[in-house]
Structure 1
């Protein structure tokens, strides 16, 4: 009996040793390609092993399922989309499944986009699950907040990482939360003499600054000009607000008739700022809106090289227009 027990121990050790050796051998050719696969919810260890093999991972599904059970990790395998890299071993594969190291996707929301462009980019991304496709803008926003009824400007432009197959709602939620955080941080550091009553007012200004210049170095001056106009009761007269108000009617050119056509966003016909932001402002524009440059300038005109000429009176401005525009 003692001899049989010893024999069984030796066999068990040999099996365990073989299992350890097998678990550390590459199952994907080190010079091969990344293999993508998905584990569906509720698959269990056997189902997961079968799905991995069916996706092209060269591993015996029965052997892998047995290995996962004997390791004590079989019940901790997480459903999701994965990528197995060249040179991966059964041990590494199991680690990925247990830790939930899902395949990563990314989506970049560009500074200056409007919300329609953001929605389109999210709708076009093939790595997302499109749970919001049937929702209107108002319905989508209602899932995030009850404070606002218009989504424009409420989402921070940035690059967002997510697991392949994640709900598109995750992107909206992340971008909304990040904008709220960045806006509140900037608001807490604002110049208290500014004519803004709420952080939302400052967000509107930041969106105008975002669309008025691509030069980060000039955003403080542009914000300073618009703040000066607000303080003196002048019309803002900024073309990007007119363009936003035109919607799909805008075809790349603003005519004099467009400047005279009244809309809630036409700052040539209405005093003050438009009712909502007109774009998604980035960090530089938020900072400029909260702490604009101290300047006496009331006007600016594009020089044609990406920079602007700033003027404190109409006469100087008209001269600059003649020089750079006419």
Structure 2
């Protein structure tokens, strides 16, 4: 077989050289009769082309035929051979024997894609197109004739355009900004030569410029959008930190709304509730007004407010007792007065709430040990715990009562009343609450409460021979009479045999006579142990004095008569 393309010092081409079988150098260029020995598989054959011009071997100096179209196909466009064997060391017609000998080919004609480092002795090894990468087609137009000089003799071209490939972040410009895109990918497909030659013309340059313009537009939009976003959020940050909070002006419109404020609510929680109800425009505005005034004096409960009020007016109105739609239960207050207050606040007919209490008391959340005595006058007595409760028009009496009973159940549930009742020699927890209600009704000060509780427990003892287990409390008689009279005649008391009359009935009354507060309950659970058996309000109002014997009691009684003018 005849060898071609040899220069001084060059090695003969191996019969398995891919270009040897592909190009078909067999005596002359373009001969198609040769079949390479690649596993018996014929390689792609190009149609015979006329010989245009001969140039010397660029690497070895020997003569080698030059085919203009084949040169363009192999050197500057990814031809079929370059696509299949790109990176195997083939460069400008000189085979790379090391690439073939080191396992680049598996002996069957199949190419194992193994990357190869650039040959340091190759003057074009550092160029991106040296191993199959695509270069711009500078020669695909009629103006390019006569054919360009070989790379070794070519003058430096001005960098008019950048190649349509992405050299990576550290090598050059990204293909997106260089005009590369989906259209460039189509150039990698092996199409006809006439079509390939036309892609390097002016139309492609205009298309690149169009894509460059689109890329710049996209970048401009991105940066413009980012600048707009920064401006917007910067303005919002300034407004939130330094700008005035949104707020209504004036004292509101004609619409009113009921707002319920829970216990322990601060300015933020109150402001949120008011904003949700349409009273104030923003929570921040209310918090500002709340902190700059006496907002911390706003108590829990219900308020009747107007819609669209300024925050300052809302705080001022909530501090005004006239706007409060609450029912306040005070320690020692009887249920009958609580029912009247609820009717008034809810705008109901007198007696409505009391009827609900008598009819639906079992559904209001009373503890299991309540109502242990059939003689109880009011099943809810002692279970409307002292406090402030919302009661605005539109609310149901049962909902207001249920909240009060729930508060009592929670307060009483903090103590083990069953164990306390046994320790105090009482029958059940209900009697503990009954004692606490009597302490609340008779005592005047905190110190009085514990002494008053001891008086009750001492008089209940079977060993009490001085009063014979009669408690003799005016408060129990006044309860059954629904009065508050300290001047009760003995004849009136002695002829009344009601279970709540402790002058004529031994032991405790059937149930509580009011709502005890926390202090009275604590005193009932922890009485003094000093032997107190008698007490007298010597001034008729606030000064209660205690005695251990009947003789001491008589002296206190005389003192009371003197102060009363008897």
- What's the TM-score bracket when you normalise by the shorter of the two chains? 0.5 to 0.7
Of 549, 552, 562, the match for 1:313: 549
TM-score, normalised via structure 1 length: 0.67
**Counterpart-to-counterpart distance in 2, 1:165 and 1:117:** 21
- Equivalent residue, structure 2, for 1:170: 399
Instruction: Considering Cα pairs closer than 8 Å and 6+ residues apart, tell me whether 1 or 2 has the greater RCO.
Output: 1
Q: 1:234 Cα deviation (Å)?
A: 2.0
1:120 aligns with 340
> 1:243–1:254: 8 Å Cα contact kept in structure 2?
no
- How far is 1:214 from its partner? 2.2
Distance 1:87 1:114 in 2: 38
Separation in structure 2 between the aligned mates of residue 230 and residue 292 of structure 1, nearest angstrom: 14
Match of 1:257 in 2: 491
Contact 2:533 2:547 in 1 (8 A): yes
Q: Look up the match of 1:301.
A: 536
Counterparts in 2 of 1:277 and 1:84: CA distance versus 1, 3 Å: same
Structure in which a larger fraction of residues adopt helix = 1
Q: Aligned partners of 1:216 and 1:87: how far apart in 2?
A: 41
Moved over 3 A (4+): 24-30, 34-39, 80-85, 103-106, 132-136, 145-149, 161-168, 186-193, 250-253
Q: Name the counterpart of 1:86.
A: 310
Q: Which has the larger radius of gyration?
A: 2
Q: Check whether the contact 2:384–2:408 (CA below 8 A) recurs between aligned residues.
A: yes
1:155 aligns with 2:379: no
Q: Given the alignment of the two structures, is residue 290 of structure 1 paired with residue 525 of structure 2, yes or no?
A: yes
Aligned match of 2:331: 111
Q: Quote the offset at 1:192 in angstroms.
A: 5.3
In the alignment, the residues of structure 2 paired with residue 283 and residue 165 of structure 1 have an alpha-carbon distance, to the nearest angstrom, of 31
Deviation at 1:158, TM superposition (A): 0.9
CA distance in 2 between counterparts of 1:134 and 1:157 reads: 18
Displacement of 1:187 after TM fit? 3.9
Provide Cα deviations, 1:1-27, integer angstroms capped at 9, x if missing partner. Answer: x99xx8xx9xxx9xx99xx9xxx9877
2:505 pairs with 1:275: no
Alignment deviations for residues 255-307 of structure 1 (CA, whole Å, 9 cap, x no partner): 22221121111101010000011111111111111111112111011121622
**Alpha-carbon displacement from aligned partner over 1:176-210 (angstroms, at most 9, x marks no partner):** 11212222324458485312121100001111111
**1:65 corresponds to which residue?**
none
CA–CA distance in structure 1, aligned partners of residues 360 and 308 of structure 2: 35
CA RMSD of aligned residues (A): 4.5
Unaligned runs of 5+ in 1: 40-50, 58-79, 89-102
Mapped to 2, the partners of 1:38 and 1:134 lie a distance apart of 26
Counterpart contact for 2:421–2:432, Cα < 8 Å: no
Listed as ranges, the gaps of 5+ residues in structure 2 are: 1-213, 237-242, 259-276, 282-303, 313-322, 372-378
Secondary structure of 2:514's counterpart equals: coil
- What is the alpha-carbon distance in structure 1 between the residues aligned to residue 538 and residue 444 of structure 2? 13
3-state secondary structure, aligned to 1:279: coil
Q: Verify: 1:237 aligned to 2:461, yes or no.
A: no
Q: Counterpart in 2 of 1:47?
A: none
Kindly provide the CA deviation profile for residues 197-238 of structure 1, in whole angstroms up to 9, marking residues without a partner as x: 211000011111111122122100001011100013520000
Aligned residues: 274
Helix, strand or coil: the match of 1:301?
strand
2: CA distance between counterparts of 1:115 and 1:290? 23
